Structure 1
Amino acid sequence: MVFVSKKKKNILKNINKNSVYSFNDAYILLQMLPMAKFKNTFESVDIAINLGVDIKKPEQNVRSSVVLPNGLGKNIRVAVFSDSDKDNLLNCGADIVGVDVLFDNINNGNINFDVIISDPDSMKLISKLGPILGPRGLMPNPKDGTVAKDLVSCVKKIKLGQVMYKADKYGIIHTSVGKINFEKDKIKGNIEALLNSIKKNKPASSKGIYIKKLSLSTTMGPGLFIDLSSFIY
């Protein structure tokens, strides 16, 4: 049986999961909830954005990336498939660089990183790891900028707080936009950057309302619907 404190019960009583909140009101409620700590870090602020797209149509698959101006509040571990410019890549923040050694690590189940980027020449080899990387969402893809010639620039962007996003089979984008201990203006700035990027990547064949709904939650907290007019995008 999960124990719920009296304080949390009182806060949850004031939350109507069917209501639409302004961003400011929603973030105050989320911050009032008792915060869980995981390995010396705070819970993430997670976002779900419902899009007016038909995922069955390939041209309406929404996938891209954006650098959040206020970062994610955590260190992103980056693996780079390349044998070129190794020292420079390590100096700018890459955690592991190589081709054969990285291939063997992944093939043996040693996946100690959050993002994989690659130069185009290595993709033929990486494709053999598809059954391992695909289900984990780690397969490099040119659409989200994880396959590129300028790998140094890629590493720098990821370390600054770049997020890769993709609409799932229901047309919903899920990602994190920071930590619950962030000031509200920093979270809002990250959300607006994400919304702007999603808007720029609207499929030409998508009709009607494109960005339909948005909800925010913490890792362990309830989801709250947010009034889209709270944001400028």
Structure 2
Amino acid sequence: MAKISKNRKAAAAKLEQGKIYSLEEAASLVKDITSTKFDASVDLDVRLGVDPRKANQMVRGVVTLPHGTGKAVRVLALVTPDKEQEAKDAGADYVGLDAYIDKIKNGWTDVDVIITMPPVMGKVGALGRVLGPRGLMPNPKSGTVTMEVGKAVKEVKMGKIDFKVDKYGIVHTSIGKVSFEPKQIVDNAKEFIEMINKLKPSAAKGTYVKSIYLSSTMSPGIQVEPKSID
């Protein structure tokens, strides 16, 4: 049996067993029970009443968090020469096309988001085996395949994230850092849950949002009352 650390025990002691907290309470508590020396991520796990194996119950979308994620997002723009300056001006970290495609073919994937254009998807599509498993493949549905390259780069830099329900019916995402103020965590969580509610499949029956847990990188999960996020 794994040994429970002192910090973990101390964090667990601050949680009332069986209690479901309001979002505001959880946002303050997650800061209080995190003792990492680094600025830990604040994560949200939402369990949905859907069957992801069925295409008409898939939940996938994008949302721009009002306070961003707190992470420095590295963006690669795979674009034609006429769009390179637009991507650079918007803040893309890496800009180009053929040279970066060759790098990726050789195993380089040191980026968080890749943005490209419809005219070059033929070239980018060939990278599916490398990018797909890492969640880096550009997709029109997430806004990462677009002619508005500058706008897409700016949105990602400002905190736009894409999410997808996993095979267990859970949507997991980071909504900030422990250094955020509780209100910033609340605002980001509300924006994320609101988007999930908008994406409720018509085929989903019964309770849609079954449970919500807020946690940091190294903390226990805090159960949140879904009705407190209205």
TM-score by length of 1: 0.91
Aligned to 1:77: 74
When the two chains are superposed, the root-mean-square deviation of aligned CA atoms in Å is: 1.8
Match of residue 158, structure 2, among 153, 160, 171: 160
Cross-structure match for 2:221? 223
- Structure 1 position 170 matched with structure 2 position 162: no
Q: 1:95 to 1:173 in 2, by over 3 A?
A: same
Letter in 1 for 2:10: N
For residues 168 and 3 of structure 1, what CA distance do their matches in structure 2 show?
Answer: 29
Conserved? CA contact 2:11–2:34, under 8 Å: no
Q: Give 1:25's aligned residue.
A: 25
Instruction: Point out where structure 2 has 5 or more consecutive residues left out of the alignment.
Output: none
Q: Read off the aligned partner of 1:92 and give its amino acid letter.
A: A
Query: Equivalents in 1 of 2:87, 2:161: separation in Å?
Result: 19
Amino acid in structure 2 at the alignment position of 1:150:
E
**Does the Cα contact within 8 Å between 1:48 and 1:175 map onto a contact in 2?**
yes
1:185-204 matches, cutoff 5 A: 185-204=183-202
Instruction: Quote the Cα distance in structure 2 between the aligned partners of 1:52 and 1:8.
Output: 31
Query: Matched residues in 2 for 1:60 and 1:11: separation?
Result: 36
Q: Residue in 1 aligned with 2:44?
A: 47
Could you tell me how far 1:61 is from its partner in structure 2? Answer: 1.3
| Rounded Cα–Cα distance in structure 2 between residues aligned with 1:58 and 1:30 | 35
Q: Does 1:4 align with 2:1?
A: no
Are the aligned partners of 2:27 and 2:186 in contact in 1 as well (CA < 8 Å)? no
Q: For structure 1, which segment, 23-32 or 216-225, has the greater mean C-alpha deviation from structure 2 after superposition?
A: 23-32
Code of the residue aligned with 2:54 in structure 1: it is K
Find 1:59's aligned residue among 56, 61, 66: 56
1:15 aligns to 2:15 (yes or no): yes
Counterparts of residues 58-207 of structure 1 (less than 5 Å): 58-83=55-80, 84-207=82-205
Query: Cα gap change, 1:49/1:34 in structure 2, threshold over 3 Å: closer, same or farther?
Result: closer
Partner Cα separation in structure 2 for residue 135 and residue 74 of structure 1: 21
Deviation at 1:29, TM superposition (A): 2.5
The alpha carbon displacement at 1:8 in A equals 4.9
Residues 128-156 of structure 1 deviation map (CA, whole Å, 9 limit, x = unaligned): 21121111111111221111121111101
- Tell me how many residue pairs correspond in the alignment: 228
The code of the aligned residue for 2:73 comes to: I
Measure, in 2, the Cα distance between the counterparts of 1:171 and 1:150. 33
Q: Distance in 2 between matches of 1:11 and 1:36?
A: 11
Contact 1:70–1:186 (Cα < 8 Å) also in 2? yes
Distance 1:58 1:18 in 2: 35
